[in-house]
Structure 1
Amino acid sequence: MNIEIKKMQSDEEIKGKAYVHWKSWQDAYKGIVNQDFLNSLTLEKCEERAFKWPENTFVAKDNGKIVGFSCYGKYRSEELSNTGEIFAIYILEDYYGTGVGQALMQAGLGELDYPQVAVWVLKDNIRAIKFYEKCGFRFDGREEELTLGTPIVEVRMIKDKE
């Protein structure tokens, strides 16, 4: 394994990010998110989204192949005005536990000049919650209901930056 973390730049990297997004949803959310919704999430839809919002993204490459990504920026609403956010962090299942997720998290956090950072995670995504806790995030009590084929709850976690 020869992992490189870098800012996403090329169309090839954007397509790689889209694949990781699509594949990660199929693997990580099976049994958590409605299967009809997962079936409707196509690689083409992920690619369209990746090209629409290419900024503020790091990719993890293993010998040139995109195996993960993280997206970051200012928190999505004024509710937490001086807060950054990790909008997404996904890695291919084969790279779980290898440190790739930690490296992508650190890259994103390094770009956020805020006293605290938030992430939103599906309440039933225990693997992701454990990962975020390992990164220093804690629940702050905020929940929202989403509809991903059927209603599902996402929870917010906050990390104070050192």
Structure 2
Amino acid sequence: MKTIEETKGKAYVHWKAWHEAYTGIVSQEYLDVLTLEKCEDIAFQWPDNLLVAKNNEQVIGFAGFGKYRNDELENTGEIFAIYILEQYYGKGVGYKLMHEALDHLSTYSKVAVWVLKDNKRAISFYEKCGFKCDGREETIELVSPITEIRMVLSNDN
């Protein structure tokens, strides 16, 4: 992500993808307060380690990655976010973003991702990318409690 236009495009994808993918999974109250403006604030505050996928000049997806968020797992990278617009599902955009992000994380022995336990589509995607559930769960508050599961990919394979 290099330009203001790409940052704004990332924010739009963040906002739109949450509303497309998480309706019926997270509370509508949370989705109602997740505005495009809020997503733009996030995008401008977190510009590093972000890849964007574009169709012509339109941002259609993004992936965020970096060092795992705590010391619980040694030598582990993390996919913090990967979202694409629903109209691009099944077209390989997510896989391209994932593989590019994994290339950036190749110095780590493992890569982790947290996914909402009820997001079967995302879990299936991560499994196809080689991630496996490791049994770790966390409950987070998105207006109401919701469970995330951790999936891990070993770079030693």
TM-score by length of structure 1 reads: 0.95
Cα distance in 2 between the residues matched to 1:115 and 1:150: 34
Report the AA paired with residue 152 of structure 1: I
What secondary structure sits across from 1:81 in the alignment? coil
For structure 1, the 5+ residue unaligned runs are 1-7
Q: How does 1:21-100 map to 2 (within 5 A)?
A: 21-100=14-93
Identity %: 63
Out of 4, 7, 10, the position equivalent to 1:14 is: 7
Report the AA paired with residue 93 of structure 2: V
Please give the per-residue CA displacement for 1:68-93, whole angstroms capped at 9, x wherever unaligned: 00000000000012100000000000
Cα distance in 1 between the residues matched to 2:119 and 2:154: 22
Aligned to 1:4: none
Out of 85, 109, 112, the position equivalent to 1:115 is: 109
Out of 124, 131, 145, the position equivalent to 1:151 is: 145
Report the AA paired with residue 103 of structure 1: K
Cα distance in 2 between the residues matched to 1:81 and 1:50: 28
Report the AA paired with residue 104 of structure 2: E
Out of 117, 123, 126, the position equivalent to 1:129 is: 123
Query: What is the number of residues matched between the two proteins?
Result: 155
Cα distance in 1 between the residues matched to 2:74 and 2:2: 29
Cα distance in 2 between the residues matched to 1:107 and 1:13: 17
State the 4+ residue runs in structure 1 displaced beyond 3 angstroms: none
Cα distance in 1 between the residues matched to 2:104 and 2:145: 33
